[in-house]
Structure 1
C-alpha cells in the first residue's frame, strides 16, 4: 500500500515542476538569512537617525509650506487657504528684493574673502616652525565664540565717536565714518565681521587638507623644476586642495546666507534696507508683524534659493576639483 502512495507523491511533485525533479539549494536559505540580518542591522542603526531627520527637518518643512498657503497670523483662531498668493506678494515686495540683493552681495564678499584668507593663514601656519598650536587657537577662537556677544564687542569698536576704530583713524590722521549708520558702509562692515567669524573654520579645514598632501608630490615637483613656492602652490597644493576648497566654499556660502545675528544686533537691517538680510526679513515679518503665512512663504523661497545655489555651486566647482 505504501509504494503506490510514494509513487503518486513523486508524480505530483514532477507535475508541479514541469516534469523536472528539483532539489532545494543548500546555500540559498543561509544567504537569504544573511541578507535579512544585514538589512535588519542597517535599519536598526540608521532608523533612529532617519526618524529624527524626518521629525526635525522634513516634517517642519512640510508644515511651513502648508502655512505658506494660508493667511494665518500668530494668535489668530482661524485661517483660510489663499493658495500661492503669499508667494506672489513676496516676489512683488520691494523690501524682499532689496534683502535678496543684500544677501547675495554679502555672500559674494564673504565666500572669496574667507577662502583666500583662510588658505593664506593655513599656509603661513603650516610653513612656520613654532607656536603653531597658538596661532591655530587664536584664529579659531572667533568661530567658537558666541556671535551675538562678539557683535556687541564690534558695536563698541565701531562706535562713531568713542569707538576704537575711529579713534585710531583720528590718531593717524585719516577720516572717520559712521560705519554702521551709513548705507554705503553698513553691509561691507557686516561682511568683514562675517569673514572674521568664519576665518578660523576655513583655516582648520585647509590645515587638515595640507597635512594630507603627500610629500612625494612636492619632491617630484622639485625634480620637474617647480622649486619656487609659487610654482609648488600652483601645481601641487591648490589642485590637491580641490575637495577641501569645494567643501569650504559650500559651507561658508550656506552660513553666509543664514546670517542673522550680526544684522539683528548691529543694524536691524538699516539704515533703511541697506543691510537687511533674508533671514532678518523673515524674522521681522513673522515675529514682529505676526504675518505667519507671509513669513512662511519667505522661508520656502529662502530654502529653495539656498538649495538651488548650493547644488549649482557644487556642480560647477566639482568639475574643477582634482580627487586623489
Structure 2
C-alpha cells in the first residue's frame, strides 16, 4: 500500500473515531456511569437523612430477598404481568390482522386505535379513575343500569391489579398494533399464493402456515417489549392507588420509589434498582437470542 493511501486510511479512521465519540460519550454519561454509581450505592447503607455511610457489601441484597414487602411487590408485579401480557400481545395481533384485511376505512381505524398512544398516560389515568369511580363512575353506573352490582375497581385488593392492567392495555394496544401491521405488510404476497396452491385456502391455515412464521421477529419484539413495559409499571400506581389498598397494588418500581424517596433508604433502593436492571437485561438477552433464531429461520 502506498504512503498516500495509508495516510488517507489513517485520516478516515481518525475521523470515524471523532464522529462516534459524541454518541459514545452520551451513552457513558446517561447509561453506563449512572448504572455503576447505582451498583456502588447498593453496596452501602447510604441514606438521604445522614451524611455518614458505610460499606455493607451484599447486606442490602440479603435484606431484599428476606423482605416480605419485596416478595409482595414482586408477586403483585408478576400477577399484573400475567394479566397484561396476553392482552398486550393477542389483542393488537387480532386488530392488525383485521385492519390489514380491510381496504375501506383502514386509515381511519389505524388512527382511532393509535390515538391512546399519543395521549399522556398520567393525565388519562385521572380520567380512568373518574370512569371507574365506585359511586359516580360511568362504568359502574352502566353496570347498575343492567342490574349488575357495582365494582370497586381501584379500592378492592381483588380487582385493583386488573383495573391497572386494563388502563395500561388501553395505552399500549395501538402501538403494538402498528408494529404487527408493519410486520404483516412486509410479508410477500407470493407466499400466500404458494400456500393456496398447496391447499391452504382457509384463513386459519394461511395464518399458521404463512403469517405466524413470518411474523416471528415482530412477535418476539412485541412480547419482550411488552414484558419490559409490564415490569416498568409505576406512573399509574403513583397517580391512582399509591400501593393501596393494603399494599395490593404496590408493584416493584413503586416499592423502589418508596424505599428511596419516602423512607430515604437509598442504599436499599439502589439494590432494588440493580435487581430490576437485571430483569431488564434478561428480557433484552432473550429478545436478542430469539430474534437471531427467528432471523435465521
User: Which TM-score bucket, shorter chain as reference?
Assistant: over 0.9
d(CA) in 2 for partners of 1:155, 1:198: 18
SS at 1:82 equivalent: coil
Question: In the alignment, does 2:121 pair up with 1:147?
Answer: yes
Q: Counterpart in 2 of 1:303?
A: 277
Give CA-to-partner distance per residue, 1:189-210, whole Å, 9 cap, x none.
1112121111011001111111
**Where do residues 231-242 of structure 1 align in structure 2 (5 Å cutoff)?**
231-242=205-216
Q: Counterpart in 2 of 1:202?
A: 176
d(CA) in 2 for partners of 1:145, 1:91: 37
Q: Counterpart in 1 of 2:196?
A: 222
Asked whether the 8 Å contact 1:240–1:323 carries over to 2, the reply is no
Shift, 1:229, TM fit? 0.9
Give CA-to-partner distance per residue, 1:155-191, whole Å, 9 cap, x none.
0011001111111111112222111111111111111
d(CA) in 2 for partners of 1:147, 1:106: 17
Question: In the alignment, does 2:297 pair up with 1:321?
Answer: no
Q: Which residue of 18, 39, 46 corresponds with 2:20?
A: 46
Asked whether the 8 Å contact 1:243–1:323 carries over to 2, the reply is no
Question: In the alignment, does 2:256 pair up with 1:290?
Answer: no
Question: In the alignment, does 2:143 pair up with 1:160?
Answer: no
Shift, 1:64, TM fit? 0.9
d(CA) in 2 for partners of 1:30, 1:298: 56
Structure 2 alignment gaps of length 5 or more: none
Question: In the alignment, does 2:166 pair up with 1:192?
Answer: yes
d(CA) in 1 for partners of 2:84, 2:48: 35
Asked whether the 8 Å contact 1:210–1:237 carries over to 2, the reply is yes
Shift, 1:306, TM fit? 2.2
**Where do residues 3-18 of structure 1 align in structure 2 (5 Å cutoff)?**
none
Asked whether the 8 Å contact 1:239–1:322 carries over to 2, the reply is no
Q: Counterpart in 2 of 1:76?
A: 50
Asked whether the 8 Å contact 2:133–2:152 carries over to 1, the reply is yes
Give CA-to-partner distance per residue, 1:210-247, whole Å, 9 cap, x none.
11111111111111111111111111111111111111
Asked whether the 8 Å contact 1:107–1:253 carries over to 2, the reply is yes
Shift, 1:108, TM fit? 2.4
d(CA) in 2 for partners of 1:179, 1:122: 29
**Where do residues 84-95 of structure 1 align in structure 2 (5 Å cutoff)?**
84-95=58-69
d(CA) in 1 for partners of 2:155, 2:288: 36
d(CA) in 1 for partners of 2:246, 2:9: 63
d(CA) in 2 for partners of 1:111, 1:323: 26
- Matched pairs, number: 297
Shift, 1:322, TM fit? 5.5
d(CA) in 1 for partners of 2:141, 2:93: 31
d(CA) in 1 for partners of 2:282, 2:295: 23
Q: Counterpart in 1 of 2:244?
A: 270
d(CA) in 2 for partners of 1:82, 1:239: 50
Structure 1 alignment gaps of length 5 or more: 1-26
Q: TM-score, normalised by structure 2?
A: 0.94
Q: For the pair shown, which has the larger CA radius of gyration, 1 or 2? A: 1
d(CA) in 1 for partners of 2:293, 2:89: 16
Shift, 1:31, TM fit? 5.1
